[in-house]
Amino acid sequence: MKTAFCMKMFDLATVVLFICLDHTYGSAGNEWAYDGEKGPDHWHLDFPHCGGVRQSPVSIKTDEVIVDSEWLVPFTLKGYDKIQNLTMQLGNNGHTVQVDLMIRGEPVSITGGGLKNVYAAQQFHFHWGKEDQRGSEHDIDGIYFPMEMHIVHYNMKYNNFTEALNKEDGLAVLGFFFEVGRYNHRFDRIIKHFSEISYRDLRTQIETFALRDLLPENLDGYYRYYGSLTTPPCYESVIWSIFYQTIQISEDQLDQFRHKVHENYANETNRDISDDYRPPQCLNRRKIHSSKPVVSIGNVGKNNQTGRTSGSATQISVTLITSLIFLMKLLFIFFW
Ligand SMILES: *[C@@H]1O[C@H](CO)[C@@H](O)[C@H](O)[C@H]1NC(C)=O
Ligand SMILES: *[C@@H]1O[C@H](CO)[C@@H](O)[C@H](O)[C@H]1NC(C)=O
Ligand SMILES: *[C@@H]1O[C@H](CO)[C@@H](O)[C@H](O)[C@H]1NC(C)=O
Ligand SMILES: *[C@@H]1O[C@H](CO)[C@@H](O)[C@H](O)[C@H]1NC(C)=O
Ligand SMILES: [Zn+2]
């Protein structure tokens, strides 16, 4: 059922592409958002890559995952526990809170994990929901988590992050799910600075800590697939690793994400950054692999998302309507 839906969307995508070429596309500049006229259903109009066939996030269906433990060996983390020569700058870009890593000398990097090259850490950021039942971008068998963290690395065979950004093997992103649980003091190093970045484009340097501190204990279990950036310009350049083990965070701490940082500039009316996740994209021909047989993910009560379906319904109707318009235009051209 779901697959059929995706195939249909794929066929219709070609039609929609025609419409875009037909219309003057990119009419509204390069702004984008998570809802409304600039929301995910419309990203492809200004950013054509967002309409591609290797997009992220995706829904992970555990009974379709292919286990390949010979390929997907554990990662080797280098410099994940260092603090010397590493500067961390926390910023609000209007879509998320992001920590940029600035490194002198030896980079913080990952190898192994089935990767062919060494990937250097560039930044990490978060996606979260207004409520506990949503917020993650990826989902496991339809189960969503209240927050997802992405650590973005670039392939060191390229000169820098910018150069790697749109290459097929340019980026490796590690994704971690959060679950509501105990207070996690490790994240307070970030959260306590939210008042300094409560508006868009504000930045502040924070005290450096070891990246490893943020991660779950066990990193052996993870899913692997080839996808894209989950925000415009949606380049199809990401090798995704989504980890089984989750990170605990308290409801109070999540609330700081939900209410302390705003998507607007200081001179405008406050709008919380929240629900800054892209809905799942079609897998198309892709397969999701994993490093180990899937065990039950996480350990606290699972969330399932009911609000998402309305998003897909909108997407279908938008696509249907644009296709209809296209057909009418065709008829018009033929019979005039
Ligand atoms: C820090 O950087 C200096 C010079 O770039 C280098 O000599 C030193 O080995 C670096 N230290 C660490 C721990 O990376
Ligand atoms: C990245 O590398 C390219 C090619 O070497 C160079 O033109 C560009 O200026 C570099 N960008 C940054 C931000 O260093
Ligand atoms: C608010 O400030 C930003 C730059 O900081 C500017 O681009 C924007 O136009 C301003 N908005 C209003 C409503 O003044
Ligand atoms: C999903 O959520 C709905 C409504 O909140 C609930 O009725 C249903 O039992 C939940 N399903 C699972 C598998 O938790
Ligand atoms: Zn992300």
SS3 289: strand
DSSP alpha helix (H) spans, 143-267:
161-164, 188-191, 251-260
State the distance from the centre of ligand 1 to the C-alpha of 84, rounded, in angstroms: 7
- Residue nearest atom 14 in ligand 4 by C-alpha distance: 304
- Ligand 3 pocket check for 267: Cβ under 6 Å: yes
- Ligand 2 proximity of 35 Cβ (cutoff 6 Å): no
Residue 113 has pLDDT above 60, yes or no: yes
Is the pLDDT at 299 greater than 50? The verdict is: no
Phi-psi region of 177 (alpha: psi -120 to 50; beta: other; left: phi over 0): beta
Instruction: State residue 137's pLDDT score.
Output: 98
pLDDT of residue 327: 82
Hey, whose CA ends up nearest to atom 1 of ligand 1?
Answer: 85
321 alpha carbon – ligand 5 mean position (Å): 30
Give the active site residue among 44, 95, 127, 153. Answer: 95
Q: pLDDT tens for residues 13-38?
A: 554 454 444 444 444 457 999 999 99
User: What residue's CA is closest to ligand 4, atom 8?
Assistant: 304
- Starting from the CA of residue 144, give the closest ligand: 4
3-state helix, strand, coil in the chain (%, to 5): 30, 25, 45
CB of residue 306 inside a 6 A radius of ligand 4: yes
- Ligand 3 contact via 268 beta carbon (within 6 Å): yes
222-226, 273-277, 326-330: least confident range: 326-330
Nearest CA to ligand 1 atom 13: 84
What pLDDT does residue 19 have? 46
Give just the sign of the alpha carbon dihedral 83, 84, 90, 93. Answer: negative
| CA 35 – CA 41 distance, rounded (Å) | 9
Q: How confident is the model at residue 336 (pLDDT cuts 50, 70, 90)?
A: low
Q: Which atom of ligand 1 is nearest to the CA of 79?
A: 14
pLDDT tens string 144-177: 999 999 999 999 999 999 999 999 999 999 999 9
Residue 294: its pLDDT value, please? 78
Q: Which of 248, 240, 241 is nearest to 221 (CA)?
A: 241
- Indicate if 262 belongs to the active site: no
Distance 295 CA to ligand 5 centre (A): 25
| Single pTM value for the model | 0.82
Residues 72-105 have pLDDT tens digits of: 999 999 999 999 999 999 999 999 999 999 999 8
Centre of ligand 4 to C-alpha 287, Å, is 27
Q: From the CA of 184, how far away is ligand 3's center (Å)?
A: 36
The residue type found at 165 is L
How high does pLDDT run on average in the chain?
Answer: 88
Span 2-335 CATH architecture: Roll (3.10)
